[in-house]
């Protein structure tokens, strides 16, 4: 299967006004792609569209709640009306909840799944209808929590497990009918975005991401590489691959890591903000058009991800043991520095 270079592509990106989606949109625009960007906040979308155009890119912002099948269909129709085709569709929109599963309300859990899981389902099924015509790439954002789980983000992990199952099944069905569609699942480790700001919080302190934390540009690079060369799974950050390997081969050990290190490392030493805003049920305009949160010690590169993108799979697999050890050391180091 051959995919077009970015400069010849029309790319749809959901969740485009913050974090990974925003970074990917700006990077794709700089490389000549025509963009259709989607998010719930119409004002932020208009500002993003203006920014991209000022940088010389052709862009269209379409206000979209990915949890609505009708709105996702309208997104696709808007892309076709403006550009005549879709070459890559990126299902990036997502949200989290920090808190014990017993404390999280049913309404909040259902809303999370409506965005994280049904948003991917709606986007994927709409996208493949159009990608089949001329070929293209479907790229879904999973997580390192697609393969393992952690306490205090149980519903988020469950949604990312569901995204993995759906994406794998859809890939097999498309391959069976020889459809010219590449299906990729991206699995980032912890990324320095507005993730914790957007998340709903049930904790008595502000949530934080556990180390190691990687730059969003690494995920954007991985996404755009998959838009040009078919790939099945892409782990962004060695910690993501280490989590997957460790969770598969040493599940009870990783349970204990979750119960100790991961419990503490997701809790900051800052009291939970009163009247705290989030983006679970509606967009949070105060945190839009921001790529990074500004976490300390962010890793700007990943040797494992570079090897994976270069196709050096054997070297990457041989490094699995080293990654697992590095993962444990990083988690332990973060735990030692967390009050």
H or E stretch at 119: helix 118-134
- Model confidence at 36: pLDDT above 80: yes
- Transcribe 213-273 into DSSP letters: -B-HHHHHHHHHHHTTS--SEEEESHHHHHHHHHHHH-HHHHHHHIIIIIHHHTEEEEEPP
Instruction: Summarize pLDDT for 99-125 with one digit per residue, the tens.
Output: 999 999 999 999 999 999 999 999 999
Tokens of 15: 């969740």
Strands (E), 151-212: 181-188, 200-201, 205-207
Active site residue 235: no
Choice between 116 and 1, residue whose per-residue pLDDT is larger: 116
- Model confidence at 328: pLDDT above 70: no
**In the structure, what pLDDT confidence band is assigned to residue 306 with cuts at 50, 70 and 90?**
confident
Task: Indicate which residue of 156, 214, 235, 327 is catalytic.
Answer: 156
Distant-in-sequence, close-in-space partners of 17: CB < 8 Å, separation ≥ 6: 37, 39, 41, 44, 45, 48, 283, 288, 289
Percentage of the chain modeled with pLDDT above 90:
86
pLDDT of amino acid 312? 55
- Transcribe 40-56 into DSSP letters: S-HHHHHHHHHHHHHTT
- Model confidence at 181: pLDDT above 60: yes
- In contact, 132 and 89? CB cutoff 8 Å: no
pLDDT of amino acid 111? 98
pLDDT of amino acid 321? 55
Cis peptide before 212 (omega within 30 of 0): yes
- Model confidence at 318: pLDDT above 90: no
Percentage of the chain modeled with pLDDT above 70:
91
CB count, 10 Å around CB of 105? Answer: 12
Distant-in-sequence, close-in-space partners of 326: CB < 8 Å, separation ≥ 6: 238, 239, 242
- In contact, 156 and 97? CB cutoff 8 Å: yes
Residues in the chain: 339
Choice between 265 and 313, residue whose per-residue pLDDT is larger: 265
Span between the terminal Cα atoms of the chain, in Å:
51
> Average of pLDDT values for 270-296?
93
Q: Minimal CA–CA distance to 227: which of 24, 64, 79? A: 24
> Average of pLDDT values for 274-295?
92
Tokens of 275: 């009247």
- In contact, 154 and 203? CB cutoff 8 Å: no
H or E stretch at 207: strand 205-207
- The CB-side HSE value for 165 (13 A sphere, CA atoms) comes to 8
> Average of pLDDT values for 167-190?
98
Low-confidence winner among 7-21, 62-76, 246-260 (lowest mean pLDDT)? 246-260
Sign of CA dihedral 284, 287, 291, 294: negative
pLDDT of amino acid 118? 98
pLDDT of amino acid 339? 39
- Model confidence at 52: pLDDT above 60: yes
pLDDT of amino acid 1? 81
Instruction: Summarize pLDDT for 64-104 with one digit per residue, the tens.
Output: 999 999 999 999 999 999 999 999 999 999 999 999 999 99
pLDDT of amino acid 337? 44
Q: Name the average pLDDT for the chain.
A: 92
d(CA 196, CA 201): 9
Q: Minimal CA–CA distance to 52: which of 20, 16, 94? A: 16
**In the structure, what pLDDT confidence band is assigned to residue 338 with cuts at 50, 70 and 90?**
very low
d(CA 194, CA 35): 22
Q: Which residues of 185-214 are buried (b: 16+ CB within 10 A; e: fewer)?
A: bbbbbbbbbbbbbbbbbbbebbbbbbbbbb
- Model confidence at 226: pLDDT above 50: yes
Report the C-alpha dihedral over residues 144, 124, 112, 159, rounded to 10 degrees: -40
């Amino acid at each position: 299967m051959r995919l077009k270079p970015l400069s010849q592509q029309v790319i749809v990106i959901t969740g485009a006004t913050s974090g990974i989606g925003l970074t990917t949109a700006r990077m794709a625009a700089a490389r000549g792609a025509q963009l259709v960007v989607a998010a719930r906040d119409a004002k932020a979308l208009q500002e993003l569209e203006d920014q991209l155009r000022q940088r010389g890119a052709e862009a269209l912002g379409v206000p979209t709640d990915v949890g609505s099948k009708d709105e996702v269909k309208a997104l696709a129709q808007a892309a076709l009306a403006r550009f005549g085709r879709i070459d890559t569709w990126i299902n990036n929109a997502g949200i989290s909840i920090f808190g014990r599963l017993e404390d999280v309300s049913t309404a909040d859990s259902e809303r999370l799944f409506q965005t994280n899981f049904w948003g991917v389902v709606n986007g994927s099924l709409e996208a493949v209808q159009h990608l089949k015509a001329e070929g293209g790439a479907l790229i879904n954002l999973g997580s390192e929590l697609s393969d393992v789980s952690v306490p205090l983000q149980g519903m988020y992990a469950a949604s990312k497990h569901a995204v993995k199952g759906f994406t794998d099944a859809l890939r097999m069905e498309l391959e069976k009918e020889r459809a010219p569609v590449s299906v990729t699942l991206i699995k980032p480790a912890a990324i320095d975005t507005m993730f914790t700001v957007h998340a709903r919080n049930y904790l008595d302190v502000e949530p934080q991401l556990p180390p190691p934390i990687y730059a969003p540009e690494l995920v954007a690079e991985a996404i755009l590489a998959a838009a040009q060369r078919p790939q099945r799974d892409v782990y962004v950050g060695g910690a993501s691959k280490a989590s997957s390997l460790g969770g598969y081969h040493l599940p009870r050990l990783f349970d204990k890591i979750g119960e100790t290190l991961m419990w503490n490392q997701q809790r900051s030493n800052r009291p939970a903000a009163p009247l705290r805003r989030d983006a679970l049920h509606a967009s949070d305009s105060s945190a839009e058009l921001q790529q990074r949160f500004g976490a300390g010690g962010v890793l700007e590169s990943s040797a494992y991800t570079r090897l994976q993108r270069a196709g050096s799979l054997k070297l990457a697999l041989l490094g699995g043991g080293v990654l697992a050890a590095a993962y444990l050391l990083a988690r332990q180091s973060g735990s030692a520095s967390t009050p």
